[in-house]
Amino acid sequence: MTETLLKVEGLKTYFYTEAGIVKAVDGVSFDVRKGETLGLVGESGSGKTVTSLSVLRIVPKPGRIVEGKIELKGENLLAKSEKEMQSIRGREIAMIFQDPSSSLVPVYTVETQLRDVLSAHEKISKDDAHKKILDLMNLVGIPEAEIRMREFPHQFSGGMKQRVAIARALALEPELLFADEPTTALDVTIQAQVLDLLEDLKKKMGMSLVMITHDMGIIAKMTSRVVVMYAGNVAEIAKTDDLYYRPRHPYTALLLAAVPRLDRKKTLSIIPGNIPNLIEPPSGCRFHPRCEFATKKCEEAPPVLEEVEPDHFVACYEWKNITLKGETGKND
Amino acid sequence: MNLENEKPNGGGKRRSASQWAVAWRRFRRNKAGVAGLVIVLAVVFIGIFGDFIAPYPAYPANGAFGPFYKGDVRTAPNSHYLMGTDVLGTDVFSDILHGTKFALYVGVVVTIITMAIAILVGAVAGYFGSWVDNVLMRITEVFLVFPSLLFILIFVRVFTLGGGAGSSFNFLGISVPFGLTIVVVVLAIFNWPGDARMIRGEFLRVRELEFVEAEKALGAGNRRIIFRHILPNILSSIIVVASLTIAYAILLEAGVSFLGFGDVSTMTWGQILENNFSDMRIVWWAEVFPGLAILITVFGFNLLGDGLSDALNPRLRD
């Protein structure tokens, strides 16, 4: 159960822009276990997406992985050649993107699009590909698959498009799927369907899923463990329940307080300030300028992840001294 | 997005809406574009069948001088010689018909070579960026800052002097004049840089689109992304530019021939103009009619190009 599939250690991905070095991901460590759904949560610009692109080694220029270790089933991905990575992408690790209207190739029919992924990795006859594509489209719940596979992406609705994108990502049955805000571009009513589909497929295919999102609701619904990222660092890693009810990092607590709740009359709190400039990030703990518990120590050196209880890590000096309010739900 | 297309197959048949079907519907509504297409089709028809329609065989075959032997040199247009006869005593109407295939040959082959170089250079520069882009674009600029007409004239003269003018070679059973082919190659060599820049720009735009990243994430290599994913997405721009390049190439060859630097043994339209230029005051018909042929053909390709550009431009799609 707790077999590790992916292990990321001390990952640093920097962007060498004209304005300076943007430390988008600066020392991120976490692991993904076999068959689990891991949440990767944080504000925009916290490095969630860059982390996943780094794992696939497709960080766009001028970005570069500077340091760290990325191990898939014990094999170091950073030592692989580009050719080897190409066969890993799609086959072992796949990714789906935020906006299905732009992540599908507009000039190809769905069939061509899916066949393209299959044929990129192995020789496959047109007939076999057709059968496989039909299966895939049924798998992701697209009705009238035989007809619809001959249509173009712009003839599909947003939700259906995302299903096509999911089918494309799952074509080669990867063991690990990164879903980068897969429902952000969709209608709320469609969101639930797509999330259910992902959950279902994950179970069916026995793969691990990394949900990248800023939506705490999706995290609660989908994940078993959560990595909270802030400004290119990991703030907290915990089981989803622990994180919601007993957050240890002040940032996590603020994030939870910023989630609107229908069942409670309270003013929605906001986190004061903005995510820092990552060219010259704040010294020490990157959250300290926005943190009400910050002390002198926080400004001096960045905290490291500490295990506060089994499977619960936090990068905060003050976690012992502060009590944070978590989600108060049915457990209270 | 489009609700109409989301309806299941209730009642009416689904409207096919592939990119090209949509483009064709838009194109049909554009009168100028359709006129261009008609002209181009007519020119192509004459290019293929002109040799059979023409009353006299092609220069320099002996039969081409039929009017000359009858003493009909510099005859004004009449019912016998629709466009008159020229200073050499050949039938201008026949010359124009025979010349159509050369015009098309020049237009099409220059465009194929131009596009091949332009796509290769533009794709590699635009896709890979950084120093590759820098090097390729500086080379492109070197070609752009040449006074190209001057260089074309020099190169054509140098290469055609090396013999071969007048001879022809066989390509897929078609006899192709050697001298004209040299002109074509030289034109293409000086014609690709502008198109390469355009294609580079398109690559710069498309490579940033999310589907490129998505394809990369699913294991597509560079070559696959360039040729299978990006290129088809800019095909519409390439088609438009290609049709304009055909027109430009025909015009340029006519110019080169008119200046007396062309292949003298191949009676292209520009060559007819050049042959009769000194006697223009007498044989105006031998200047006007070939000139009109050039004008109509170039105009046709331009109209077609504009029509295609309107039809294929997604931003204008209604």
Contact flag A90-B219 (C-beta cutoff 8 Å): yes
Residue B3 placed within a domain: no
- A-chain residue closest to B128, CA distance: A61
Residue B143 reports pLDDT greater than 70: yes
Q: Indicate which of A87, A89, A93, A98 best probes the interface with B, i.e. most B CBs within 10 Å of its own CB.
A: A89
Contact flag B221-A102 (C-beta cutoff 8 Å): no
Using beta carbons and an 8 Å cutoff, which residues of B are at the interface with A? Answer: 1-2, 5-6, 8-9, 14, 17-19, 129-130, 209-211, 213-221, 224, 228-229, 232-233, 235
Give the predicted TM-score (pTM) of the model.
0.81
Kindly give, in sequence order, each residue whose CB lies less than 8 Å from that of residue A9, ignoring residues fewer than 6 positions away: A29, A68, A69, A70, A71
Q: Which of B314, B294, B256 is nearest to B17 (CA)?
A: B314
pLDDT in tens, A137-181: 999 989 988 889 888 888 888 889 999 999 999 999 999 999 999
Residue B17 placed within a domain: no
pLDDT in tens, B222-243: 999 999 899 988 988 898 899 9
pLDDT mean over B45-61? 86
Contact A154, A185 (CB under 8 A): no
| Chain A residues with CB-CB distance to B5 below 8 A | 151, 155
Contacts with B, A 143-172, CB within 8 Å: 143-144, 147, 151-152, 154-158, 165, 168-169, 171-172
Residue B317 reports pLDDT greater than 70: no
Contact B165, B263 (CB under 8 A): yes
pLDDT mean over B289-309? 93
Average pLDDT, chain A: 88
Contact flag A97-B210 (C-beta cutoff 8 Å): yes
Contact flag A103-B229 (C-beta cutoff 8 Å): no
pLDDT mean over A196-222? 91
Q: What tokens appear for A191 in the block?
A: 């969101």
Closest Cα of chain B to A96: distance in Å?
A: 7
- B-chain residue closest to A54, CA distance: B217
pLDDT band at B192 (very low <50, low <70, confident <90, very high): very high
Give burial (CB, 10 Å; 0-12/13-18/19+) of A307: exposed
pLDDT of A169 reads 92
What CATH number should be reported for the domain holding residue B141? 1.10.3720.10
Residue A259 reports pLDDT greater than 90: no
Closest Cα of chain B to A83: distance in Å?
A: 8
Closest Cα of chain B to A284: distance in Å?
A: 34
Q: Which of A306, A303, A291, A313 is nearest to A242 (CA)?
A: A313
Residue B18 placed within a domain: no
Q: Which of A258, A249, A257, A264 is nearest to A327 (CA)?
A: A257
- B-chain residue closest to A168, CA distance: B218
Helices (H) and strands (E) in chain A, counts: 12, 12
Residue B204 reports pLDDT greater than 90: yes
Residue B5 placed within a domain: no
Residue B149 placed within a domain: yes
Residue B151 reports pLDDT greater than 80: yes
Q: What does the H/E/C string look like for B137-174? A: HHHHHHHHHCCHHHHHHHHHHHHHHCCCCCCEEEECCE
Contact flag B9-A120 (C-beta cutoff 8 Å): no
pLDDT mean over A254-277? 78
Residue A84, number of CB atoms within 10 A of its CB: 12
pLDDT in tens, B62-117: 777 777 777 777 777 887 788 888 888 888 899 999 999 999 999 999 999 999 99
Amino acid identity, position B271 = Q
pLDDT band at A96 (very low <50, low <70, confident <90, very high): very high
Residue B310 reports pLDDT greater than 90: no
pLDDT band at A331 (very low <50, low <70, confident <90, very high): very low
DSSP code string of A295-330: -HHHHHS----EEEETTEEE--SSTTT-------ST
Amino acid identity, position A192 = A
Contact flag B218-A89 (C-beta cutoff 8 Å): yes
Closest Cα of chain B to A32: distance in Å?
A: 18
pLDDT mean over A202-217? 91
Task: Please count the CA atoms within 13 angstroms of the CA of A215 that sit on its side-chain side.
Answer: 17
Residue B46 placed within a domain: yes
pLDDT band at A329 (very low <50, low <70, confident <90, very high): low
Residues B269 and B86: their CA atoms lie apart, in Å, by 13
| Chain A residues with CB-CB distance to B17 below 8 A | 152, 154-155
DSSP A277: P
pLDDT of B62 reads 77
Closest Cα of chain B to A27: distance in Å?
A: 23
pLDDT in tens, A278-297: 888 888 888 888 888 888 88
Residue B252 placed within a domain: yes
pLDDT in tens, A105-129: 888 889 988 998 898 888 888 889 9
What is the side-by-side strand order in the sheet with A75-76?
A20-33, A4-17, A63-72, A75-76
Range of the domain at B197: 42-66+82-316
Residue B228 placed within a domain: yes
Annotate A45-58 with b (16+ C-beta within 10 A) or e (fewer). Answer: bbbbbbbbbbbbbb
Beta bridge partners of A177: A94, A209
Q: Is the ipTM of this complex over 0.85?
A: no
A142 part of contact set with chain B, CB < 8 Å? no
Contact A219, A213 (CB under 8 A): yes
Closest Cα of chain B to A137: distance in Å?
A: 16
pLDDT mean over B153-161? 81
Contact B255, B149 (CB under 8 A): yes
pLDDT mean over B155-180? 75
pLDDT of B282 reads 84
User: Across the interface, which of A103, A151, A172 has its CB nearest the CB of B214?
Assistant: A103
Residues for chain B: how many in total? 318
Closest Cα of chain A to B316: distance in Å?
A: 16
In total, how many domains does chain B have? 1
User: Across the interface, which of B8, B211, B218 has its CB nearest the CB of A94?
Assistant: B218
Annotate B257-278 with b (16+ C-beta within 10 A) or e (fewer). Answer: bbeebbbbbbbbbbbbbbbbee
